[in-house]
Amino acid sequence: MIYKAKSEEAVDGGMGRTHRLESTFPRLAEHLGYVPKEDILYAVKAIVVAQRENGRRDDRKYSRMKYLLSSWGIEKFRTVVEQYYGKKFDPCIDLPEWEFKSYLGIGMARADWPYVKICSLIIVYSGIFMEMVDNGRIKGTMKKTLWEIIEKYSLNVRITPNQNIVLCDIRQAWKRPITTALAQGGLLQPRYVDPLNVTAMACPALPLCPLVIAEAERGIPDILKRVRAVFEKLWLGGTPNQTSLVRIIKDKVKIQDLEKVLEPLFYHWKSKQISKELFGDFTYRMGNKKLLELVDRWEGIPSSPSRCNLKLFADKKTYETIDGLAKLQEKSAHELTMEIISNYVASHQNENIE
Protein backbone atom coordinates (compact mmCIF):
# COMPACT_ATOMS: atom_id res chain seq x y z
CA MET A 1 0.00 0.00 0.00
CA ILE A 2 1.22 3.49 -0.83
CA TYR A 3 -0.25 6.62 0.70
CA LYS A 4 0.51 10.26 0.02
CA ALA A 5 0.32 12.93 2.69
CA LYS A 6 0.83 16.09 0.64
CA SER A 7 4.13 15.04 -1.01
CA GLU A 8 5.47 12.64 1.58
CA GLU A 9 5.33 8.96 0.72
CA ALA A 10 5.24 5.86 2.85
CA VAL A 11 5.34 2.30 1.55
CA ASP A 12 4.85 -1.28 2.60
CA GLY A 13 1.75 -1.13 4.81
CA GLY A 14 -0.74 -3.99 4.85
CA MET A 15 -2.92 -5.84 7.35
CA GLY A 16 -3.38 -9.10 5.46
CA ARG A 17 -1.84 -12.43 6.44
CA THR A 18 -2.39 -16.13 5.94
CA HIS A 19 -4.10 -17.90 8.82
CA ARG A 20 -1.77 -20.03 10.95
CA LEU A 21 1.24 -19.19 8.81
CA GLU A 22 3.54 -17.14 11.04
CA SER A 23 5.86 -16.21 8.16
CA THR A 24 3.05 -13.95 6.89
CA PHE A 25 2.18 -10.92 8.95
CA PRO A 26 0.59 -7.45 9.05
CA ARG A 27 3.06 -4.58 8.76
CA LEU A 28 2.96 -0.82 9.20
CA ALA A 29 4.14 1.40 6.35
CA GLU A 30 7.55 3.06 6.60
CA HIS A 31 8.46 6.55 5.45
CA LEU A 32 10.29 6.49 2.13
CA GLY A 33 10.92 10.18 1.56
CA TYR A 34 9.58 13.55 0.51
CA VAL A 35 9.06 14.54 -3.14
CA PRO A 36 7.67 17.65 -4.87
CA LYS A 37 4.02 17.37 -5.82
CA GLU A 38 4.81 17.50 -9.51
CA ASP A 39 7.01 14.39 -9.12
CA ILE A 40 4.54 12.22 -7.18
CA LEU A 41 3.50 10.09 -10.16
CA TYR A 42 7.13 9.51 -11.15
CA ALA A 43 7.97 8.43 -7.61
CA VAL A 44 4.98 6.08 -7.50
CA LYS A 45 6.01 4.58 -10.84
CA ALA A 46 9.53 3.96 -9.49
CA ILE A 47 8.08 2.21 -6.43
CA VAL A 48 5.86 -0.01 -8.55
CA VAL A 49 8.73 -0.94 -10.89
CA ALA A 50 10.94 -1.84 -7.91
CA GLN A 51 8.23 -4.19 -6.66
CA ARG A 52 7.59 -5.62 -10.14
CA GLU A 53 11.26 -6.42 -10.76
CA ASN A 54 12.16 -7.71 -7.29
CA GLY A 55 8.98 -8.90 -5.58
CA ARG A 56 8.12 -12.56 -5.01
CA ARG A 57 6.26 -14.12 -7.91
CA ASP A 58 6.83 -17.76 -7.08
CA ASP A 59 4.48 -17.74 -4.07
CA ARG A 60 1.30 -15.67 -3.95
CA LYS A 61 1.35 -15.53 -0.13
CA TYR A 62 4.55 -13.46 -0.23
CA SER A 63 3.86 -11.38 -3.33
CA ARG A 64 3.03 -8.15 -1.53
CA MET A 65 5.51 -5.30 -1.29
CA LYS A 66 5.67 -5.50 2.50
CA TYR A 67 7.53 -8.82 2.33
CA LEU A 68 10.10 -7.37 -0.08
CA LEU A 69 10.71 -4.43 2.21
CA SER A 70 10.81 -6.66 5.28
CA SER A 71 13.52 -8.71 3.58
CA TRP A 72 15.52 -5.78 2.25
CA GLY A 73 14.97 -3.10 4.86
CA ILE A 74 13.91 0.48 4.11
CA GLU A 75 17.43 1.71 3.23
CA LYS A 76 18.03 -0.82 0.45
CA PHE A 77 14.49 -0.39 -0.83
CA ARG A 78 14.96 3.38 -0.96
CA THR A 79 18.25 3.02 -2.85
CA VAL A 80 16.70 0.77 -5.50
CA VAL A 81 13.64 3.01 -5.92
CA GLU A 82 15.87 6.07 -6.29
CA GLN A 83 17.68 4.33 -9.17
CA TYR A 84 14.38 4.04 -11.05
CA TYR A 85 13.26 7.48 -9.91
CA GLY A 86 16.44 9.11 -11.23
CA LYS A 87 17.27 11.13 -8.13
CA LYS A 88 17.31 10.93 -4.36
CA PHE A 89 14.32 11.50 -2.11
CA ASP A 90 14.39 14.47 0.22
CA PRO A 91 14.27 13.66 3.96
CA CYS A 92 10.81 13.19 5.46
CA ILE A 93 9.19 16.18 7.14
CA ASP A 94 7.13 16.25 10.30
CA LEU A 95 3.46 15.91 9.48
CA PRO A 96 0.79 17.76 11.48
CA GLU A 97 -0.86 15.79 14.28
CA TRP A 98 -3.63 13.62 12.89
CA GLU A 99 -7.13 14.83 13.59
CA PHE A 100 -10.42 13.20 12.63
CA LYS A 101 -12.73 15.66 10.89
CA SER A 102 -16.23 14.65 9.93
CA TYR A 103 -17.57 16.34 6.80
CA LEU A 104 -20.87 14.49 6.96
CA GLY A 105 -23.74 16.57 5.66
CA ILE A 106 -24.08 18.99 2.76
CA GLY A 107 -21.69 21.85 2.08
CA MET A 108 -19.76 23.72 -0.57
CA ALA A 109 -16.68 22.23 -2.20
CA ARG A 110 -13.50 23.58 -0.67
CA ALA A 111 -10.15 23.84 -2.39
CA ASP A 112 -8.28 22.54 0.67
CA TRP A 113 -10.16 19.21 0.79
CA PRO A 114 -7.86 16.46 -0.50
CA TYR A 115 -10.54 14.66 -2.50
CA VAL A 116 -11.63 17.96 -4.04
CA LYS A 117 -8.10 18.52 -5.33
CA ILE A 118 -7.82 15.01 -6.72
CA CYS A 119 -11.20 15.17 -8.45
CA SER A 120 -10.86 18.77 -9.67
CA LEU A 121 -14.22 19.70 -8.18
CA ILE A 122 -13.51 23.39 -7.67
CA ILE A 123 -16.66 24.43 -9.52
CA VAL A 124 -18.92 27.39 -8.80
CA TYR A 125 -22.26 26.32 -7.27
CA SER A 126 -20.88 22.82 -6.85
CA GLY A 127 -21.83 21.12 -3.60
CA ILE A 128 -20.72 17.99 -1.84
CA PHE A 129 -22.96 15.78 0.24
CA MET A 130 -21.20 13.21 2.41
CA GLU A 131 -23.62 10.53 3.52
CA MET A 132 -23.24 8.27 6.54
CA VAL A 133 -23.43 4.59 5.55
CA ASP A 134 -23.99 2.44 8.61
CA ASN A 135 -21.37 -0.34 8.88
CA GLY A 136 -20.03 0.42 5.40
CA ARG A 137 -22.65 -1.46 3.41
CA ILE A 138 -25.70 -0.51 1.32
CA LYS A 139 -28.44 -2.76 0.00
CA GLY A 140 -32.14 -2.91 -0.84
CA THR A 141 -34.06 0.38 -0.87
CA MET A 142 -30.98 2.33 0.21
CA LYS A 143 -28.96 1.04 -2.74
CA LYS A 144 -31.80 1.67 -5.21
CA THR A 145 -32.29 5.22 -3.93
CA LEU A 146 -28.61 6.08 -4.29
CA TRP A 147 -28.50 4.62 -7.79
CA GLU A 148 -31.53 6.62 -8.90
CA ILE A 149 -30.14 9.90 -7.50
CA ILE A 150 -26.71 9.39 -9.05
CA GLU A 151 -28.22 8.53 -12.42
CA LYS A 152 -30.79 11.35 -12.40
CA TYR A 153 -28.34 14.12 -11.54
CA SER A 154 -25.19 12.59 -13.11
CA LEU A 155 -23.26 12.94 -9.85
CA ASN A 156 -19.67 11.97 -9.28
CA VAL A 157 -19.22 9.58 -6.34
CA ARG A 158 -16.34 9.03 -3.94
CA ILE A 159 -15.94 6.53 -1.11
CA THR A 160 -13.96 7.62 1.96
CA PRO A 161 -11.63 5.59 4.22
CA ASN A 162 -14.31 5.97 6.92
CA GLN A 163 -16.72 3.93 4.76
CA ASN A 164 -18.83 6.99 3.89
CA ILE A 165 -20.13 8.05 0.48
CA VAL A 166 -19.44 11.45 -1.10
CA LEU A 167 -21.90 12.72 -3.71
CA CYS A 168 -20.21 15.50 -5.72
CA ASP A 169 -21.27 18.26 -8.13
CA ILE A 170 -24.63 18.95 -6.47
CA ARG A 171 -26.20 22.20 -7.63
CA GLN A 172 -27.96 24.40 -5.10
CA ALA A 173 -31.37 23.77 -6.71
CA TRP A 174 -30.93 20.01 -6.24
CA LYS A 175 -30.25 20.16 -2.51
CA ARG A 176 -33.84 19.77 -1.26
CA PRO A 177 -34.98 16.96 -3.62
CA ILE A 178 -31.77 15.01 -3.04
CA THR A 179 -31.86 15.25 0.76
CA THR A 180 -35.55 14.33 0.75
CA ALA A 181 -34.97 11.29 -1.47
CA LEU A 182 -32.00 10.16 0.66
CA ALA A 183 -34.06 10.38 3.85
CA GLN A 184 -36.89 8.39 2.27
CA GLY A 185 -34.35 5.74 1.25
CA GLY A 186 -33.08 5.36 4.82
CA LEU A 187 -29.90 7.47 4.53
CA LEU A 188 -30.14 9.81 7.49
CA GLN A 189 -28.43 13.16 7.93
CA PRO A 190 -25.66 13.25 10.58
CA ARG A 191 -27.75 15.06 13.20
CA TYR A 192 -30.06 12.05 13.35
CA VAL A 193 -27.23 9.50 13.75
CA ASP A 194 -25.67 8.42 17.05
CA PRO A 195 -22.14 9.96 17.19
CA LEU A 196 -20.86 6.53 18.18
CA ASN A 197 -22.04 5.20 14.81
CA VAL A 198 -20.56 8.13 12.89
CA THR A 199 -16.97 7.26 13.82
CA ALA A 200 -17.36 3.47 14.10
CA MET A 201 -15.93 1.16 11.44
CA ALA A 202 -16.43 -2.55 10.87
CA CYS A 203 -12.85 -3.64 11.52
CA PRO A 204 -12.38 -7.41 11.70
CA ALA A 205 -9.65 -9.14 13.66
CA LEU A 206 -6.61 -10.70 12.03
CA PRO A 207 -6.21 -12.63 9.82
CA LEU A 208 -8.17 -10.63 7.28
CA CYS A 209 -10.31 -12.44 4.72
CA PRO A 210 -13.53 -11.61 2.81
CA LEU A 211 -15.65 -13.79 5.09
CA VAL A 212 -14.52 -12.17 8.33
CA ILE A 213 -14.91 -8.68 6.84
CA ALA A 214 -18.48 -9.51 5.84
CA GLU A 215 -19.14 -10.88 9.33
CA ALA A 216 -17.79 -7.70 10.94
CA GLU A 217 -20.05 -5.55 8.77
CA ARG A 218 -23.03 -7.72 9.66
CA GLY A 219 -22.37 -7.65 13.39
CA ILE A 220 -21.39 -4.03 14.03
CA PRO A 221 -24.91 -2.50 14.32
CA ASP A 222 -25.89 -4.74 17.26
CA ILE A 223 -22.46 -4.35 18.86
CA LEU A 224 -22.77 -0.55 18.72
CA LYS A 225 -26.13 -0.75 20.46
CA ARG A 226 -24.54 -2.75 23.26
CA VAL A 227 -21.62 -0.29 23.54
CA ARG A 228 -24.10 2.59 23.71
CA ALA A 229 -25.95 0.76 26.50
CA VAL A 230 -22.69 0.56 28.48
CA PHE A 231 -22.19 4.30 27.92
CA GLU A 232 -25.64 5.10 29.23
CA LYS A 233 -25.12 2.81 32.21
CA LEU A 234 -21.93 4.66 33.16
CA TRP A 235 -23.27 8.13 32.29
CA LEU A 236 -20.80 8.54 29.44
CA GLY A 237 -21.75 10.91 26.65
CA GLY A 238 -20.55 11.04 23.06
CA THR A 239 -18.12 8.45 21.77
CA PRO A 240 -14.73 7.08 22.93
CA ASN A 241 -12.80 8.68 20.07
CA GLN A 242 -9.12 7.95 20.03
CA THR A 243 -6.26 8.53 17.64
CA SER A 244 -3.88 5.89 18.97
CA LEU A 245 -3.01 2.64 17.27
CA VAL A 246 -5.07 -0.27 18.53
CA ARG A 247 -3.35 -2.78 20.83
CA ILE A 248 -4.54 -6.17 22.01
CA ILE A 249 -5.18 -6.38 25.75
CA LYS A 250 -7.35 -9.50 25.81
CA ASP A 251 -7.31 -12.12 23.07
CA LYS A 252 -10.35 -14.00 21.72
CA VAL A 253 -13.09 -12.29 23.70
CA LYS A 254 -16.41 -14.07 23.22
CA ILE A 255 -19.17 -11.86 21.86
CA GLN A 256 -21.41 -12.60 24.85
CA ASP A 257 -18.66 -11.27 27.16
CA LEU A 258 -18.30 -7.92 25.40
CA GLU A 259 -19.77 -5.88 28.26
CA LYS A 260 -17.53 -7.65 30.81
CA VAL A 261 -14.51 -6.17 29.02
CA LEU A 262 -15.84 -2.76 27.98
CA GLU A 263 -17.60 -1.83 31.22
CA PRO A 264 -14.49 -1.85 33.46
CA LEU A 265 -12.41 -0.06 30.84
CA PHE A 266 -14.97 2.70 30.32
CA TYR A 267 -15.67 2.98 34.06
CA HIS A 268 -12.01 3.49 34.97
CA TRP A 269 -11.50 5.82 31.99
CA LYS A 270 -14.27 8.03 33.36
CA SER A 271 -13.04 7.94 36.95
CA LYS A 272 -9.27 8.11 36.32
CA GLN A 273 -8.88 10.18 33.16
CA ILE A 274 -6.69 13.27 33.28
CA SER A 275 -8.57 16.42 32.25
CA LYS A 276 -10.25 15.67 28.88
CA GLU A 277 -8.08 12.63 28.17
CA LEU A 278 -9.28 10.55 25.22
CA PHE A 279 -9.95 6.86 25.64
CA GLY A 280 -7.00 5.83 23.46
CA ASP A 281 -4.61 8.08 25.38
CA PHE A 282 -5.95 6.69 28.67
CA THR A 283 -5.30 3.09 27.62
CA TYR A 284 -1.75 3.92 26.55
CA ARG A 285 -1.05 5.68 29.85
CA MET A 286 -2.39 2.78 31.90
CA GLY A 287 -0.61 0.08 29.90
CA ASN A 288 -1.77 -3.39 28.85
CA LYS A 289 -0.92 -5.11 32.13
CA LYS A 290 -2.92 -2.67 34.25
CA LEU A 291 -5.88 -2.69 31.87
CA LEU A 292 -6.00 -6.47 31.92
CA GLU A 293 -5.98 -6.41 35.74
CA LEU A 294 -8.92 -4.00 35.73
CA VAL A 295 -10.87 -6.32 33.44
CA ASP A 296 -10.03 -9.53 35.31
CA ARG A 297 -10.84 -8.05 38.74
CA TRP A 298 -14.07 -6.36 37.69
CA GLU A 299 -17.04 -7.19 39.90
CA GLY A 300 -19.48 -4.62 38.58
CA ILE A 301 -20.04 -0.92 39.11
CA PRO A 302 -19.35 -0.07 42.78
CA SER A 303 -22.49 0.73 44.75
CA SER A 304 -21.35 4.10 46.02
CA PRO A 305 -22.69 7.64 45.81
CA SER A 306 -19.60 8.79 43.90
CA ARG A 307 -21.63 9.30 40.73
CA CYS A 308 -23.89 11.74 42.57
CA ASN A 309 -20.94 13.41 44.29
CA LEU A 310 -19.62 14.44 40.89
CA LYS A 311 -22.89 16.22 40.23
CA LEU A 312 -23.41 17.72 43.71
CA PHE A 313 -20.01 19.12 44.61
CA ALA A 314 -18.19 21.74 42.59
CA ASP A 315 -14.88 21.37 44.43
CA LYS A 316 -13.02 18.91 46.61
CA LYS A 317 -12.86 21.19 49.66
CA THR A 318 -16.66 21.49 49.87
CA TYR A 319 -17.05 17.74 49.54
CA GLU A 320 -14.52 17.06 52.32
CA THR A 321 -16.30 19.51 54.65
CA ILE A 322 -19.70 17.89 54.04
CA ASP A 323 -18.19 14.43 54.34
CA GLY A 324 -16.69 15.30 57.72
CA LEU A 325 -20.04 16.59 59.04
CA ALA A 326 -21.81 13.52 57.65
CA LYS A 327 -19.51 11.12 59.47
CA LEU A 328 -20.36 12.83 62.78
CA GLN A 329 -24.00 11.93 62.10
CA GLU A 330 -23.12 8.46 60.80
CA LYS A 331 -24.30 9.37 57.31
CA SER A 332 -22.71 9.55 53.89
CA ALA A 333 -21.89 12.89 52.30
CA HIS A 334 -24.57 12.22 49.69
CA GLU A 335 -27.26 11.48 52.30
CA LEU A 336 -26.47 14.60 54.31
CA THR A 337 -26.39 16.81 51.20
CA MET A 338 -29.73 15.50 49.95
CA GLU A 339 -31.20 16.07 53.43
CA ILE A 340 -29.96 19.68 53.48
CA ILE A 341 -31.32 20.30 49.98
CA SER A 342 -34.68 18.72 50.84
CA ASN A 343 -35.00 20.83 54.00
CA TYR A 344 -34.07 23.97 52.09
CA VAL A 345 -36.65 23.30 49.36
CA ALA A 346 -39.33 22.44 51.94
CA SER A 347 -38.71 25.63 53.92
CA HIS A 348 -39.06 27.80 50.84
CA GLN A 349 -42.22 26.00 49.83
CA ASN A 350 -43.69 26.73 53.27
CA GLU A 351 -42.74 30.40 52.92
CA ASN A 352 -44.55 30.59 49.58
CA ILE A 353 -47.67 29.01 51.08
CA GLU A 354 -47.70 31.54 53.92
Residue 200 lies in a domain: no
Beta strands in the chain (DSSP E): 2-5, 8-11, 30-34, 105-108, 127-131, 156-159, 165-170
Q: What is the pLDDT of residue 279?
A: 84
- Listed residue (59, 63, 57, 7) closest to 32, CA to CA: 7
Reply yes or no on whether the pLDDT at 96 is more than 70. Answer: yes
Q: Do 241 and 260 sit in the same domain of this protein?
A: yes
Residue 77 lies in a domain: yes
Lowest mean pLDDT among 9-13, 21-25, 282-286, 287-291: 9-13
- Listed residue (81, 69, 94) closest to 13, CA to CA: 69
Q: Do 53 and 126 sit in the same domain of this protein?
A: no
Reply yes or no on whether the pLDDT at 232 is more than 90. Answer: no
Q: Do 145 and 80 sit in the same domain of this protein?
A: no
Q: Do 246 and 275 sit in the same domain of this protein?
A: yes
Q: Do 278 and 347 sit in the same domain of this protein?
A: no
Q: Do 182 and 221 sit in the same domain of this protein?
A: no
Of 159, 193, 227, the last residue of a domain is 193
Q: Do 290 and 314 sit in the same domain of this protein?
A: no
Q: Do 159 and 116 sit in the same domain of this protein?
A: yes
Q: What is the pLDDT of residue 170?
A: 83
Question: CB of 32 within 8 A of CB of 1?
Answer: no
174 confidence band (pLDDT: 50, 70, 90): confident
Q: Do 292 and 313 sit in the same domain of this protein?
A: no
Structural domain span for residue 185:
105-193
Q: What is the pLDDT of residue 9?
A: 62
Q: Rounded CA gap, 301 and 264, in Å?
A: 8
Question: What CATH number corresponds to the domain at position 126?
Answer: 3.90.480.10
User: Residue 22: CA atoms inside 13 Å, Cβ hemisphere, count?
Assistant: 0
Residue 100 lies in a domain: no
Q: Do 270 and 221 sit in the same domain of this protein?
A: yes
Q: Rounded CA gap, 32 and 73, in Å?
A: 11
Average pLDDT over the chain, rounded to an integer = 76
- Give the count of domains, the chain: 4
Residue 320 lies in a domain: yes
Residue 302 lies in a domain: no
**What are 177-229's pLDDT values in tens digits?**
888 888 888 777 777 777 777 777 777 666 666 677 777 777 888 888 888 88
Of 266, 296, 326, the last residue of a domain is 296
Percent of the chain exceeding pLDDT 90 equals 14
Residue 92 lies in a domain: no
For 233, other C-beta atoms within 10 Å of its C-beta total: 13
Beta strands in 135-254 (DSSP E): 156-159, 165-170
Q: What is the pLDDT of residue 6?
A: 44
Question: What CATH number corresponds to the domain at position 217?
Answer: 3.30.413.10
- Tell me what the mean pLDDT of segment 292-307 comes to: 76
Residue 224 lies in a domain: yes
**What are 242-285's pLDDT values in tens digits?**
445 566 677 777 888 888 888 998 888 888 888 778 888 888 88
Residue 198 lies in a domain: no
